[in-house]
Amino acid sequence: MQKVALLGLGIMGGGMAGNLLKEGFPLTVYNRTRQKAEPFAVQGAQIAATPAEAAAGADVILAMVGDDDASRSVWLGEDGALASAKSGAVAIECSTLTTDWVRELAAAADEHGCKFLDVPVTGSRAAAADGTLTLLVGGDGETLAAARPVLEAISGTIAHLGSIGAGATYKLINNMMAAVHLTALAEGLTLAEKAGLNLEALVPLINTGAVNSGVVRGKLPRMIEQRYGDLDFALKWLEKDVRYALELGEAEAIRLRTAQAALAVIEAAREKGYGDMDMAAVLEGTRS
């Protein structure tokens, strides 16, 4: 069975680690805060002090971190995973990152003799815990085939979208569209409340109407209850993803007007102190 290293044990990474262990993969984990790694040692994982230590001897190396800077820190440098990765290992970046950095990372992996896949994920905290994430894959089919046993352990759907960068590109588009859905919902609820409507009475109409979507259905209860703790996905990461999408749009000479408007609402909520809370807190960006 393939030996696996996993770098990053947040909400998504933690769920992935749990499922890899359930499927019997020998697993070494690294997290910047060791405390988050300790529960997985009880389940059989080895804890590494650095990404390089985690990656040593691994057949497949997965990373799930917050942004481009965090990704650089776990992959590059003398303590980075690529410094110790064996020749032929498959390096898999699952984080939501810029397409430019993903392609740069792929080149760095190649220089170190590693294969590379760009595999951001979609799905909720529950999907990560249940092993039913959707994986958005960029890379060649041969490398995907080599890594498939590991990827199947953490996912319900594996979508091969094209060459390296394709996964990162669609993940930014996906999260940009989700942000637009959420900010439209937030503005609609705020307007309805100001106009004197009963928000609870609107819930079934939204859930069964044309304005419904997966992200709307998922976040509507939190918005109605103003329940932003015990987060699924932090507002600050949604802000980062929309910024990355806007950068991509600029590079492609496309003006993403609705995404820009969504970012303004997200920024307003973050400036009120909701950045570390669930992204449903975007509702607070619509309130005076």
Report all structural domains of the chain as residue ranges with CATH numbers, in order of start.
4-163 (3.40.50.720), 169-286 (1.10.1040.10)
> pLDDT tens digits, residue range 65-81?
999 999 999 999 999 99
Beta pairing, strands 4-7 & 133-138 = unpaired
Rounded Cα–Cα distance for residues 28 and 223 (Å): 38
pLDDT score, position 244: 98
Give percent of the chain with pLDDT exceeding 90.
Answer: 100
Q: Round the average pLDDT of the chain to a whole number and report it.
A: 97
Beta pairing, strands 155-162 & 46-47 = unpaired
Judged against a pLDDT cut of 90, whether residue 50 lies above it is answered with: yes
Judged against a pLDDT cut of 90, whether residue 288 lies above it is answered with: no
pTM of the full structure: 0.96
Within 8 A by CB and 6+ apart from 215, the residues are 178, 181, 182
> pLDDT tens digits, residue range 159-214?
999 999 999 999 999 999 999 999 999 999 999 999 999 999 999 999 999 999 99
Beta pairing, strands 60-63 & 4-7 = parallel
Active site residue 272: no
> pLDDT tens digits, residue range 226-265?
999 999 999 999 999 999 999 999 999 999 999 999 999 9
Give the DSSP per-residue string, 79-92: TSHHHHPPTTPEEE
- Asked whether the beta carbons of 80 and 73 are under 8 A apart, the reply is yes
One-letter identity of residue 182: L
Give the DSSP per-residue string, 233-264: SBHHHHHHHHHHHHHHHHHTT---HHHHHHHH
Within 8 A by CB and 6+ apart from 18, the residues are 40, 43, 129
pLDDT score, position 263: 98
> pLDDT tens digits, residue range 80-104?
999 999 999 999 999 999 999 999 9
pLDDT score, position 18: 97
Q: Environment class of residue 85 by beta-carbon count within 10 Å: exposed (0-12), middle (13-18) or buried (19+)?
A: buried
Angle 262-251-136 from CA coordinates, rounded to 5°: 70
Location of structure tokens 């409340």: 193
- Asked whether the beta carbons of 15 and 129 are under 8 A apart, the reply is yes
Residue 238 tokens, joined: 């949604």
Q: Which of 3, 171, 219, 236 is catalytic?
A: 171
> pLDDT tens digits, residue range 117-148?
999 999 999 999 999 999 999 999 999 999 99
- Asked whether the beta carbons of 200 and 163 are under 8 A apart, the reply is no
